Amino acid sequence: MSTTLFNLQLDHIVHLQHAYEQVLAKYGFDSLVIYSGHASHHFADDHATSFQTYGHFMHWVGLADIQHSWLVIQSGKKPQFYLHAPADFWHQPTQLPDEPWLSVIDVHQCTQALAPPVEGRSVVIGDIASTTPDIQQALNAETASNEVVRALDELRMFKTPYEVACLREANHLAMAGHEAAQAAFIGASGELDIQLAYLAASRQRESSVPYQNIIGLNGHAGVLHYQHYDITPPSQRYSLLVDAGRRFRGYCADITRTHAGPDAPAIFKELVTALHHLKDDIITRIEPDTSFVELHQQMHQALGSVLVAHDIFKGTGEQAVSEGVTRAFCPHGLGHSLGLQVHDVAGLRHPDGSAAPAPSEHPALRLTRILKPGMVVTVEPGLYFIPMLLNPLRDTSLPINWTLVDQLMSCGGIRIEDNVVVTENGYDNLTP
Ligand code: GLY
Ligand code: MN
Ligand code: MN
């Protein structure tokens, strides 16, 4: 790992310490305790489900697999890290990396799951309800109010240079997976083999992905969160949609690419190109003080133009938007905040923590913020052929070219997704 990244991480921890001290002072606490969380088990079995460390815990340590552990943050003191490290011959004990950040944090190796010692008036965040009654009783801390958690969420909205460097590297690693997935598709692989090619090239096991990879061939590309991997390749290859990420030091990439297959109608490939341009055009509009809701609305206007330009809608682009046609072709939001969680915190909040819900006509939008430097967002326009959404329009007089839509149904849909940081002067696209 480069010295630069390690130095940026030290700056990041100084920044966190300062910001947490402000939260402690504002809400009148001496200590802030963070629980890492732990994996739960399948009912009546010793088989654990996949797990990721609580985001506010990861914010300090950047490790996504720390369980049964605690952090205690106090003003003027090093963070105290109570690491659960049981003596266990069934499993490999947790080992921390030999890295500089561990010189600015005090680590206490704990052989048992226990509550950490705290001083003064303390507040705790995390999934405490999942700990044992003994731990809950021993923990001398108040449960945090929503205001405290929202203040920390707000802190996560603005990425430090260290976090941006991690997100950039996560994108590089994920992109190697996307290239391998495309190659596997060209080689006529099915969904499972495309998934395995992605995992191998992005160097990760399936349990560490930041979200379940979406690998959809043909009509499956039109299932927004398609969750299966068919083992057998289909006989016809119209399309492939890959929405797949990678963590790097806790930080998530969230990238989507769509490819036209050899059996797709020519117009599908043209639409894929149009969606790439649409995505690029929206990204160039990103700068401080831009409203993400307005960008989302601009995406709909651009989608209206794409539908008209490709003869899918025989009215005007404005009509396609105002009549809800673009929403039937793209039911999700333009994007969301990205960080230690794929759908990161505070996207639907004002800076003071009050609610900033999605507009009623765009209920799936997950980010309603005015963009500011340091925010990292996804930009992910989509255009889908989803029978459940389009069929109700067949009974209307809307000038939709159903012959063309029916030809495109077998392609499922298109999504193109990049990860972008808002800078002082504009934007920096983290996706290679
Ligand atoms: N991969 C989930 C999303 O794009 O929001
Ligand atoms: Mn996304
Ligand atoms: Mn995605």
Q: Is 254 in the pocket of ligand 1 (CB under 6 A)?
A: yes
Write the CB contacts of 399 (distance below 8 Å, at least 6 apart in sequence).
313, 314, 315
Question: Among residues 101, 134, 157, which one ends one of the domains?
Answer: 157
CA–centroid distance, residue 407 to ligand 2 (Å):
27
Question: Angle at Cα 199 formed by Cα 197 and Cα 202, nearest 5°?
Answer: 105
Determine the pLDDT at residue 381: 99
> Which protein residues have a CB closer than 5 Å to ligand 3 (ion)?
243, 254, 256, 417
Report the nearest atom of ligand 1 relative to the CA of 256: 4
- Residues 130, 99 share a domain: yes
CA–centroid distance, residue 254 to ligand 1 (Å):
6
Look at residue 288 and tell me whether its pLDDT is greater than 90: yes
- Residues 300, 378 share a domain: yes
Determine the pLDDT at residue 330: 98
- Residues 339, 393 share a domain: yes
Question: Among residues 127, 157, 187, which one ends one of the domains?
Answer: 157
Q: Is 169 in the pocket of ligand 1 (CB under 6 A)?
A: no
Number of independent structural domains in the chain:
2
Mean pLDDT of 223-249: 98
- Residues 46, 141 share a domain: yes
Q: How confident is the model at residue 46 (pLDDT cuts 50, 70, 90)?
A: very high
- Residues 122, 177 share a domain: no
Tokens found for residue 403: 């012959």
Q: List Cα–Cα distances, 347 to 115, 299, 300, 312, 319, in angstroms.
A: 32, 18, 20, 33, 29
> Which protein residues have a CB closer than 5 Å to ligand 2 (ion)?
254, 378
Rounded to an integer, what distance in angstroms lies between the CA atom of residue 98 and that of residue 109? 15
CA–centroid distance, residue 106 to ligand 3 (Å):
36
CA-nearest residue for atom 4, ligand 1, is: 254
Q: Which CATH number belongs to the domain containing residue 338 in this structure?
A: 3.90.230.10
- Residues 399, 287 share a domain: yes
Contact 73, 31 (CB under 8 A): yes
Write the CB contacts of 66 (distance below 8 Å, at least 6 apart in sequence).
36, 53, 57, 58, 83, 84, 94
DSSP state of 410: G
Report the nearest atom of ligand 1 relative to the CA of 343: 5
Look at residue 177 and tell me whether its pLDDT is greater than 90: yes
CA–centroid distance, residue 311 to ligand 3 (Å):
28
Determine the pLDDT at residue 44: 96
Look at residue 331 and tell me whether its pLDDT is greater than 90: yes
Determine the pLDDT at residue 255: 99
Write the CB contacts of 375 (distance below 8 Å, at least 6 apart in sequence).
157, 158, 159, 337, 369, 421, 422
- Residues 190, 148 share a domain: no
User: Which parts are annotated binding residues for Mn(2+)?
Assistant: 243, 254, 336, 380, 417
- Residues 173, 137 share a domain: no
Determine the pLDDT at residue 5: 98
Q: Which CATH number belongs to the domain containing residue 103 in this structure?
A: 3.40.350.10
Look at residue 97 and give its three-state secondary structure.
coil
- Residues 179, 131 share a domain: no
CA–centroid distance, residue 366 to ligand 2 (Å):
10
CA–centroid distance, residue 279 to ligand 1 (Å):
15
Report the nearest atom of ligand 1 relative to the CA of 254: 1
- Residues 256, 233 share a domain: yes
Q: Is 380 in the pocket of ligand 1 (CB under 6 A)?
A: yes
Q: How confident is the model at residue 94 (pLDDT cuts 50, 70, 90)?
A: confident
- The ligand minimizing its distance to the Cα of 419 is 2
Determine the pLDDT at residue 2: 87
AA identity, residue 4: T
- Residues 326, 419 share a domain: yes
Which string of b and e fits 395-412 if b means at least 16 CB within 10 Å? eeebebeeebbeebbbbb
Report the nearest atom of ligand 1 relative to the CA of 335: 5
- Residues 251, 201 share a domain: yes
Across all residues in the chain, what is the average pLDDT?
A: 98
Q: How confident is the model at residue 1 (pLDDT cuts 50, 70, 90)?
A: confident
Model confidence over 18-39: pLDDT tens digits? Answer: 999 999 999 999 999 999 999 9
Question: Among residues 157, 191, 226, which one ends one of the domains?
Answer: 157
Q: How confident is the model at residue 220 (pLDDT cuts 50, 70, 90)?
A: very high
Mutating to test ligand 1, I would choose from 366, 417, 431 the residue with most ligand atoms within 8 A of its C-beta, which is 417
Q: Is 163 in the pocket of ligand 1 (CB under 6 A)?
A: no
Q: Is 154 in the pocket of ligand 1 (CB under 6 A)?
A: no
Q: How confident is the model at residue 93 (pLDDT cuts 50, 70, 90)?
A: confident
Domain that holds residue 76: 3-157
Model confidence over 352-376: pLDDT tens digits? Answer: 999 999 999 999 999 999 999 999 9
Percent of the chain whose pLDDT exceeds 90: 98
Contact 230, 148 (CB under 8 A): no
User: 31-35 and 70-74: which strand pairing?
Assistant: antiparallel
Determine the pLDDT at residue 388: 98
